[in-house]
Homo-oligomer: A and B are copies of this chain.
Amino acid sequence: MSRVVKLAVIPGDGIGPEVIAEAEKVLDAVTADSGVVFDKTRFSLGAGRFLDTGETLTDDDLAAIAANDAILLGAVGGKPGDPRLKDANIERGLLLKLRFTLDHYVNLRPSKFFVGAPGPLSDPGEIDFVVVREGTEGPYVGNGGAIRKGTPQEVANETSVNTAFGVERVVRYAFDLAERRRKKVTLVHKTNVLVHAGAIWQRIVNEVAAEHPDVVVDYLHVDAATIFLVTDPSRFDVIVTDNLFGDILTDLAGAVTGGIGLAASGNINPDGAFPSMFEPVHGSAPDIAGQQKADPTAAILSIALLLDHLGLTEESARVSAAVEADIAARTAARTTAEIGSAITARL
C-alpha cells in the first residue's frame, strides 16, 4: 500500500509555472518507485488571478491549501509598476499571508557552492551553510501605520515585534540543525543599535547555547555579516536571524553561490500543525516569463528540501546529487525544460 502525500501546487506568476513544471518532472521521476504517491491540487494564485478576479487569497483558498500535507510554490508577483496592481500587495496578501497563517516559523535557506556554478567571487572557497530565518515576526509583522499621510507632516512608523516564544522556537531549530552539521551557530542581528530586539535574540541564543555545549556560538552584526559573506563565506555553518536580516542575507548568499537561480527555500512549520511550503528564493521575473529562459534549479532544489521534510531522505539526496552533477557539467545555454530534463536524466 502506498503512502499518499497531498501536495498543493501554486505555480504563480511569470516564470513560476515554467520552473514548477520542471520541479514536478523531477519529483515525479524520483518518487516513481518510492511507494509514495503525490496527490496534487493546483491553485491559481498570484497577480494573474488578482487581475482576473480581484482576489488575492480568500479564506476558502487558505482552507483548501491548509488541507494539504505540503505546498510547492513557484513565484508570485506581477510586472513592477503595473498600474492595475497599484493597490494590490501580492507579497503581503499572498506570500506573507501564507507564511504567517500557516505558522512557517522556520524559513530555511541553504547556501551551497556547487563546483561549476557561476559566481561573482574570485575565490568562493567551500561554501556550505544554512540560514535559519525567522518567518513569523520581527519587522515583517505589518505592525505599522502613518499619520498625516501624503502631507509634509507625515510620520510613518513600522514596528518590529519579537517574542520570547517566537525567537526561542526558531533558535532551538537552528541549534538542532547545527548538531547534525558542523556544530556552529552564528547569530546575526544589530544588537548595538536595535537594543531591545537585539537583547531578546542574544538572551535566548545564550540560553539555548547552554544546552548545547558542543555547539560553537558566534555573533555578528548584520553589516559585518554581509562583509564575511563575500570575503569568508566558508566560516558559516548555521546562521540564525530575524525575518528582515534573513531576507537580506539570503539574497546575498544566493548571489555568491551562483545566483538566485540556484537558491531554494523551505517555509517550515516544524510542529506539523500546518503544511510546510517549498519555493525558490527568486521572484517571478515577468520580463523573461514564457521564454524558457529561467533556470529551474532553485525550484528543483526546493523539491530536495520538500522530500527531506517528508522523511524521503534518500530521494532528497538523489535530487541534490543530480543537480550537483548537472551544474558541474554546464556549458552551453539551455532552456528551462532542457535543464529540468537533464537533471531528471541524472537521477
**A interface vs B, CB < 8 Å?**
80, 89, 91-92, 96, 120-123, 139-140, 142, 144-146, 148-165, 168, 190, 192-197, 199-200, 203, 219, 222-224, 226-227, 230-231, 244, 247-248, 250-252, 254-256, 259-260
Contact = CB atoms under 8 A, between A and B. Distances in A.
A247 B223 contact: yes
Contacts of A250: 223
Quickly give the copy total for this chain: 2
A89 to B, nearest CB: 7
A223 B80 CA distance: 16
Contact of A230 (B120, B145, B157, B199): B120
B157 A196 contact: yes
Closest 8 CB pairs of A and B: A223-B251, A122-B122, A144-B196, A226-B252, A154-B164, A156-B200, A91-B192, A227-B255
A339 to B, nearest CB: 20
Contact of A139 (B161, B194, B230): B194
B193 A96 contact: yes
B146 A153 contact: no
B200 A146 contact: yes
B163 A160 contact: no
A312 to B, nearest CB: 31
Contacts of A164: 148, 151-155
A193 to B, nearest CB: 6
A121 B231 CA distance: 9
Contact of A144 (B194, B251, B254): B194
